[in-house]
């Protein structure tokens, strides 16, 4: 039986295969909590920073560059990994980053049905919901419903294309550039690109200035 069990583990290796960074973070986390140095809530705050603030800023810069530089956008479309590397962000070996561009005709949504593959170099840590079985199954079966859950309603004529990440290929969605951003600097453009808009569960929007 144990032989079979071992094989089973190996088969699911993909699920618990941590990258060196992830493994280091995990080990550090366990150690800090075990030694009582770190309050798990404080750790959550740090992880949130990487999930929503620092990590995705790289991706936001990629999007902003694509919006403001048509030549870069063309290179990004042709070879995502190479274009992303131009900005100094790189994979950890092996996987390709593929940029998928939203258009008025087609909205892109990313999921990883097998586990939780995610474009680390451009988006940081995956959000908790990205790894959840409900998201992973519903994104494939009912992507419009998933978007509705996130408060996004697309025009009826806009179709949704769902991209399933794998160990080899990670996707980043390039949202449509909102109207009213003409002449903005890359930095200002990057500020309106949220992590979720690069997964496809949100749109890039200009917040109404209060």
Given 81, 112, 165, 197, the catalytic residue: 112
Question: To 5 degrees, how large is the angle CA 146–CA 148–CA 151?
Answer: 120
10 vs 17: CA distance, rounded Å: 10
The continuous run of DSSP H or E covering 135 comes out as: helix 133-141
Burial class of residue 121 (count of CB atoms within 10 Å of its CB; 0-12, 13-18, 19+)? buried
Given 30, 68, 115, 197, the catalytic residue: 115
138 vs 92: CA distance, rounded Å: 29
* 115 known member of a binding site: yes
* 116 known member of a binding site: yes
Taking a C-beta distance cutoff of 8 angstroms, is the pair 76, 66 a contact? yes
**Does residue 117 have an active-site annotation?**
yes
Using DSSP's 3-state secondary structure scheme, residue 57 falls into: helix
Residues comprising the chain, all counted: 210
Q: How is residue 185 annotated by DSSP?
A: -
**Does residue 116 have an active-site annotation?**
yes
Report the catalytic residues.
Answer: 112, 115-117
Binding-site positions: 112, 115-117
Binding-site positions for Fe(3+): 112, 115-117
């Amino acid at each position: 039986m144990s032989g079979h069990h071992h094989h089973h583990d190996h088969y699911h290796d993909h699920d618990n295969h941590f990258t060196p960074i992830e493994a280091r973070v995990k080990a550090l986390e366990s150690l800090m909590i075990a030694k009582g140095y770190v309050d798990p809530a404080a750790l959550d705050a740090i992880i949130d920073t990487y999930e929503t603030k620092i990590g995705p800023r790289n991706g936001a810069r990629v999007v902003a560059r694509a919006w403001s530089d048509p030549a870069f956008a063309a290179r990004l479309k042709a070879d995502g990994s190479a274009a992303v590397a131009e900005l100094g962000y790189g994979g950890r070996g092996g996987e390709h980053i593929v940029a998928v561009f939203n258009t008025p005709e087609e909205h892109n949504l990313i999921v990883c049905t097998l586990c939780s593959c995610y474009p680390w170099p451009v988006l940081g840590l995956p959000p908790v919901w990205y790894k959840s079985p409900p998201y992973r199954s519903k994104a494939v079966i009912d992507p419009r419903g998933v978007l509705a859950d996130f408060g996004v309603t697309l025009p009826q004529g806009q179709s949704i294309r769902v991209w399933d990440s794998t160990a080899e290929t990670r996707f980043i969605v390039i949202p449509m550039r909102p109207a009213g951003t003409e002449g903005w600097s890359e930095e200002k453009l990057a500020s309106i690109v949220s992590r979720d808009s690069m997964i496809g569960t949100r749109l890039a929007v200009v917040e109404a200035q209060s």
